Structure 1
Amino acid sequence: MPLLHKIAGVVVVCAVVLGLTLPAHRRGAEKESPAGRVGNSSSAAPAAKVSGSPAPSGSPTASATPLKPIPAAAPGAAAVKANELGQIPVLMYHRIVPKPEMSLDRSTKELYDELTRLAKGGYVPITAAEFVSGWINVPAGKHPVVLTFDDSTPGHFALDAAGRPKADTAVAIIQRVAAENPGFRPVATFYLNKELFGMADAQAAAGLRWLVQNGFELGNHTVTHPDLSGMSEDGVHKEIGGMEDRIVQLAGRHTTTFAYPFGAVPRKGKWARKDGSRYSFQGIFLAGWRPSVSPFADEFDRWNIDRVRSEGKIKENDCTKYCSTAWLEYLDKNPDERYTSDGDPNTVTFPKTAEDRLAKEYRRRARTY
């Protein structure tokens, strides 16, 4: 055999051997984590690395090391079957009116009845900001729920001459249910547009400050409620930044969370997340049709958080399966899929079988049973 042919044969054999023995990510077979997903690090990072800078290449700690066992849960947490990797309903409300006129409307009675059902079912409201930050301070055995109100319409909030919430507004109804059901925390998140509950600027400033002082959250929902999916970067910044400027001017503080009008995402999601020092959110909510995954779960995406429309089991938009009444019934029948608190906001407790769903940055807080 000619010498050149022999050399070529050796080269081919070496290439095949190297292709079979090199690590998978060197061959391009290992995928990167989805962009923006909380709890995912680079696929090349050591599995046991939770925080800090990666070890230098070639150092003794650069290779993956076995994970330390997760400590046992407190007896009380195990007794209530805590599952802080379970689903959390984020309920989405629009107009609250005495008699509904449009498909998204809810009557004052429907709101009262649904909140009472939540209270009797062991749900405790938290704000959207608390949810995305992972600060879920709910008694053991109880379930967090996030109440969100879009569009800042007059039925959500108004103050009477004595400076109290007007009867039959959403805020007054929330407070009434809380008074009737001790432990039901009277908080919610209001996603604001320019109308600000139909108040003039002087009234709006006093109203927004009242909400903040009483534990309610202010969220950004754009100036004019446009479909952001077809807008330019400048247009998105103008809509979100303009609303943020107005909220800061009247309430004296920035918002923490944002909700997409119509659930429509811009061509580039980062346009909605941050614009210099003008606005910078920690979480963004959609207008979806299912409960959110836990903020401690690996699959949680803080830039695309699902919500559930408040509605009965009607045929429209398949609400017989995907609106609040149907989902709350489902979680009642499948309690192992629902977020149940361990009573300690500093720990994350769940059954051992769910360990693979935990986001890495919460491993040090984790407890299992």
Structure 2
Amino acid sequence: MLMLGAGLSLLGVAGCHGNFRGPLRGEEAAAGALDASLAEAPSPAPSPSSSPTPSASPTESPAPAPAPSSAAAATGTPAPSSPPASAPASASASAAAPSPRVVTAAESRPVYELDAARKVVAITVDDGPDPRYTPAVLALLDQYGIRASFFLIGENADAHPDLVREVAARGHHIANHSWSHPDLSGLSAAKVRDELGRTSELLGRLTGRAPTWFRAPGGGWSPTVLKVGAELGMRPMAWSVDPQDWATPGTDVITKRLEKELRPGAIVLTHDGGGDRSQTVAALKAFLPMLIDSGYRFTAPPG
């Protein structure tokens, strides 16, 4: 689901048991390409499950959220009038909790697709991590050298922290999909902040980088959801291809829907959690090589 300010990350070829390594698949020049994709992408009408909030394309390129860094120890003797230890305490707090990146008004609108003039596609995977199906999805992505975006649920991440670290270690993008997967559009600002904030805190602690993108479950965007997400330093990512694999309609149905709806610049929605996802894994096994044979390149935010 795709971060500005770091360029189009196309996917390193990987083995089945390690981090991405070796040559890139697809486009090799990178700096600024993802920025251009997002800036030039048209704003399609939201999907039926999405809020009617318009999805104007972002126009600026903010830097990714900085990883926490250690502050230098405070030195010197404070002036007599200074409260004891106040300066070191402030420095420590600042180092432990860096300020969220600034999200502009344009960037706070959901991104539904990339540049339709470029034969790129973003694979996104929702509702994990799941100990049954996430490893199978990771193995397929490794096999084809594809970097994807995983929108993780906080409760699942809390239950399977090692799997979160594995997804990150293999070079995939980690993003926020709320703590308990509610319809955020029906919640108060305080509850939305709790759902997103708890998840960002956990994912940041597990991976060393706070998420800079989020996805509202079911596409439940609302002005409150978008505002809180921006205040937490995250941009919203929607989708343009939805095979409805969550409903387990059958492997053939999922595959045919993916093939029918696919187009340049697509953001593809799939799931590795929330139920039996064996059909999704089987569909991806057929769909991913078809994408490669058709000349598609893959992209995901870099952090």
Alignment TM-score, normalising by the size of structure 1: 0.37
Q: Name which structure has the greater RCO, CA cutoff 8 Å, separation 6+.
A: 2
- Which structure has the bigger radius of gyration? 1
TM-score, normalised to structure 2, is: 0.43
